[in-house]
Homo-oligomer: A and B are copies of this chain.
Amino acid sequence: MATMKIAVAAVAGTPAAAVGTRSAAATETARLCASSAQGLGLSTFVGLRAGSNASRGVTPRVRPLKAENSSVRAASSVETVEKTDVAVVEKSVNTIRFLAIDAVEKANSGHPGLPMGCAPMGHILYDEVMKYNPKNPYWFNRDRFVLSAGHGCMLQYALLHLAGYDSVTTEDLKQFRQWGSKTPGHPENFETPGVEVTTGPLGMGIANAVGLALAESNLAARFNKPDAKIVDHYTYCILGDGCNMEGISNEAASLAGHWGLGKLICLYDDNHISIDGDTDIAFTESVDRRFDALGWHTIWVQNGNDDYDAIRAAIEEAKSVTDKPTMIKVTTTIGYGSPNKANSYAVHGAALGTKEVDATRQNLKWDHEPFFVPEEVKSHWSKHIDLGSKLESDWEAALEAYSKSYPEEAAEFKQLISLELPAGWDTSLPAFTPEDAGDATRNLSQRCLNALARTLPGLIGGSADLASSNMTLMKMFGDYQKSTPGERNVRFGVREQAMGAICNGILLHRSGLIPYCATFFIFTDYLRSAMRISALSEAGVIYVMTHDSIGLGEDGPTHQPIEHLASFRAMPQMLMFRPADGNETSGAYKVAVQNRTRPSTLALSRQKLPNLAGTSIDNVALGGYKLSCNSTDNKPDLIILATGSELEIAAKAADIIRGEGKTVRVVSFVCWELYEEQSAEYKESVLPKAVTARVSIEAGSTFGWERYVGLKGKSIGIDRFGASAPAGTLYKEFGFTVENLLAKAKEVMGA
């Protein structure tokens, strides 16, 4: 048994007492994980390529941080710890490393560098720190983990495998990055139970983690009681240099600091290498001091390669800081263990190659076949099956007790986490007749949100500093803030990209929360990456996008969407709505809420629109439907297709043409994706093939409309950038008028 001094770095100014103390939660975890008390790992690692200290003794090379570049100072606290079972921890860590090495090698594709460097922190998180039940990856009260540096997914797959998740068997590891496998090239929640969110685009995972932590804090504030903490978990995130360079991570971190998300604990894999080489070529800021400025608690683990106790102590310290999120900078060596490729970009994103794998095996004394897991490692990790089961059953018992003491709250809570919508949730949506006063669809949207807020306890959301323009406040609720985390209006500030990713995190918390978020439609350009991940990761976020066309007027072309409708119609699994009036806005919300695994984008007008005859809430689900038609034989002389604010123009033009003795059908194309899902018969009933005289009108790009108007039809749209002028002027100048529609209609009818 070795007795060692270990150094724990803490931020200058942190009370020394805080370091090494254990919070109640940490103590509980320690109790539950009693069998996992592990020793101080001392690597026998030798032979690092550049600047290695290995030849000088047991301390592996750790890149020294520049003094001027960090506010974090080492070792404000030193504790003496006695530890045992070092050998098992080391074996487990090397198992993780080699599972990653072997899987990448077999696939001849992937990223071995991060798993090799992060295996120690990964081991500690999954074996010693996190609460989860491997046999029920969706157990509500589990700790959440996000690998923001998603390319390192073999780390997570190896951990899920060791922890006993059925989703990642040895066979799955061998199928890494292959067609149909559960182990794709980046972590995908929809493929692999145990993976919480889909990552890969850098910086987005930490924003997801902020969303997960927000969800926990909101539900904890709403449902926990002094004697019953039924919502109580941490969110952990491993992120890399790339994540920290991305603007989205700064946006999310600024919000996390503002919100004081004390149960968010991030581990920054500070390995100083990115694809282009040493991060010094582009990244010399002080990350520590930046996070400090953002209101985070910061800790530096100087040797993340094998100072296990320093990692443990840092996580404990992070837990003890309850009013701030914590960023633990863990300095590691990318590709740790590879004699010739460690600490270089060569190990970041490519297989090591047979020769270097052999050298690494020799270096780390790993004399095993590929994909080998030593018996003592298996045996060590096997406890998590029972442990997880007990964690869940203890929580179930606590929830039952809670249900007796607080039946009303328990009912709402259970309803939420059932992921079912409450009965009658949609009855609150307003319906309209043409006699009702017209309004902008952004205002109608606000009526819907406020109606739904009464019937959907899961509704939570807000705007990127445009609440009064997007009309997104739920008037009966206050702001979600550090001091009022149970409220449901979220103030995202001017941070669109993080807003979207945070909403993905809120939704993928899988607790029945229904996040919506809002900005001007044009600024989907800022959060498009997050919206795409909503679509890919089956996250039914509701995107409330107002000021949907040149109809916004004077703000001009920097603010006027043109190609945006087309760009989202082309995106898989995204429902793109452009409602025309009150009924269609309610209908869009109805479908959006029903679709919990598919995101919806609502493009809403700034300007007032009339309630039209022929719209209905339920028809929106058809995507495209007959608003009006005076032909009796499904052979009208003309079909006019329109969406949103131009449906009014279509209706007016149709009336005039009908007055001239023609038969005209007006079709509202409120959601193309839903229309595409209808039967061929239905589509023929709406757009009969025989009728080729078709005109579309929409205040956006004509791109894509050929699908419905065909080569003989015409599309009125705008295929250039807009201009700064009053909306009425723009509509006239750009041809969105009844007169122009009549002219085009006559052209296609050959009249």
Contacts and interface: CB of A to CB of B under 8 A. Distances in A.
Contacts of A286: 293-295
Residue of A281, A288, A467, A555 most packed against chain B (CB within 10 A)? A555
A275 interface: yes
Contacts of A217: none
Contact of A555 (B200, B283, B725): B200
A495 B556 contact: no
A185 interface: yes
Interface string A274-307: 1110010111111111101111000000000000
A442 interface: no
Contacts of A317: none
B710 A254 contact: no
B494 A242 contact: yes
A701 interface: yes
A86 B726 CA distance: 40
Interface string A529-568: 1001101100000000000000001111111001100110
A556 B200 contact: yes
Nearest to A109: B554
Interface in A507-527: 522-523, 525-526
Interface in A151-199: 151, 177-181, 184-186, 188, 198-199
Contacts of A177: 554, 556, 724-726
Given A283-B258, A493-B282, A557 B245 contact: no
A247 interface: yes
A223 B495 CA distance: 40
A348 B726 CA distance: 19
A186 B288 CA distance: 37
Interface string A556-594: 111100110011011111000000000000000000000
A597 interface: no
B251 A246 contact: yes
Contact of A467 (B203, B276, B466, B726): B276
A493 B240 CA distance: 13
A704 B570 contact: yes
Contacts of A288: 293
Contacts of A184: 556-557, 723-724
B536 A201 contact: no
A248 interface: yes
A525 B719 CA distance: 21
B255 A282 contact: yes
A332 B444 CA distance: 37
A465 B254 contact: no
Nearest to A287: B293
A446 interface: no
Contact of A563 (B257, B572, B707, B719): B572
A28 interface: no
A345 interface: yes
A703 interface: yes
A497 B719 contact: no
A469 interface: yes
Given A179-B729, A724-B184, A295 B289 contact: no
A465 B562 contact: no
A31 interface: no
Given A246-B495, A573-B721, 14 more contacts: A177-B554, A185-B556, A188-B557, A199-B558, A200-B558, A258-B282, A258-B284, A275-B465, A285-B295, A523-B529, A562-B572, A563-B567, A689-B711, A710-B711
Interface of A: 71, 107, 109-110, 150-151, 177-181, 184-186, 188, 198-203, 241-243, 245-251, 254-255, 257-258, 274-276, 279, 281-290, 292-295, 345, 463, 465-469, 479, 481, 491-498, 522-523, 525-526, 528-529, 532-533, 535-536, 553-559, 562-563, 566-567, 569-573, 689, 701, 703-704, 706-707, 710-711, 719-721, 723-726, 729-730, 733
